Chains A and B, each alone.
Chain A
Amino acid sequence: MILSNLLGSEVRDAEGRKVGHIADVRFVLDGPPGQLLAAARLHGLIVSPHSAASFLGYERYNVTQPWPLAQLLRWRHRGSFLVLWEDVARMDSGIVDLRQNYTEYDPMVPL
């Protein structure tokens, strides 16, 4: 699978209703250590209900400068959330289905 085919995919809940688009994919470096760096495991998907394109990630940082650009971009991605890999039921080209009772987590990047 190639990442860019996943980005922008439509995300649906278990009843088939559209909940947004994949704006980004979060990885965590906690796999078994390879030669130089730990393996990067897919942690979850950042889903944006209003916009298919991720742009600059202002919704995931507490950055408020430059005003008013930061505020504008944050507003474009209002309501973005993180779903974990455990809540992904099916992946197809352009469509990702979530499990029943999936959890929407805060999308902030942990520092």
Chain B
Amino acid sequence: MTRQRLPAPDTNGRSLDAQLHLLDRQIVDADGVPVTTVDDLELDSPVPGTPIEQGTPAPRIQALLTGPALVTRIFGGKPPASRLIRIPWSDVAGLGTIISLGVRANSLDASWVERWIRDHLIGKIPGGRHDPQ
């Protein structure tokens, strides 16, 4: 079944396939420090189950999701919207084999666990804030 198909119409911008170019990639902050991975994506979307009118604008990526979104992606189910940890699309600066952000990790909700462990545990152990010798 190698039926010839029409080539896809040209687009003005770069194409990205979610599974191939976004999901499960490493996210780094403006300083190149790893923050998390792309565990899922949030789209704005039409009301489920209702017909989509001709000419309805296409959904857009609102945010990269992380944290609880990984659990539900692996084991199924739907995370409550309030529990999602979002990195808004407007913070994304570059897309390559890694996803780079234009902001620092410290300003993101996505890094609160790292910060908590740093401030309460690792940073308190002697030598924890020094370069290795």
Contacts and interface: CB of A to CB of B under 8 A. Distances in A.
Interface string A1-41: 11111110000000000000001111111110011111111
B42 A25 contact: no
B16 A29 contact: yes
Interface of A: 1-7, 23-31, 34-44, 46, 54, 57, 60, 78-79, 81-82, 84-86, 88-93, 103-110
A-B interface, 10 closest residue pairs, ranked by CB to CB distance from nearest: A30-B13, A1-B45, A29-B13, A3-B41, A40-B61, A105-B8, A85-B58, A36-B93, A106-B5, A30-B12
A7 B14 contact: no
Nearest to B39: A4
Interface of B: 1-3, 5-20, 23, 40-46, 48-52, 54, 58-61, 65, 69, 72-73, 78-79, 89-95, 102
Contact of B14 (A28, A103, A105): A28
Contacts of A41: 58-60
Contacts of A44: 8
Contacts of B43: 1-3, 6, 42
Chain A facing B: main interface SS: mixed
A104 B16 CA distance: 18
30 contacts: A1-B45, A2-B42, A2-B43, A2-B65, A3-B18, A6-B43, A7-B19, A23-B19, A27-B16, A27-B18, A28-B14, A36-B102, A37-B93, A39-B60, A39-B61, A39-B89, A40-B16, A42-B43, A43-B11, A57-B19, A60-B17, A78-B2, A81-B5, A89-B51, A90-B52, A91-B45, A91-B48, A106-B7, A107-B8, A110-B10
Contacts of B54: 86
Given A46-B17, A89-B51, 12 more contacts: A1-B44, A2-B40, A3-B43, A7-B19, A29-B14, A79-B3, A82-B8, A84-B8, A90-B52, A91-B52, A106-B5, A109-B20
Nearest to A61: B20
Contact of A27 (B9, B15, B42, B65): B15
Given A27-B61, A85-B58, A57 B92 contact: no
Given A2-B78, A37-B89, A105-B6, A60 B60 contact: no
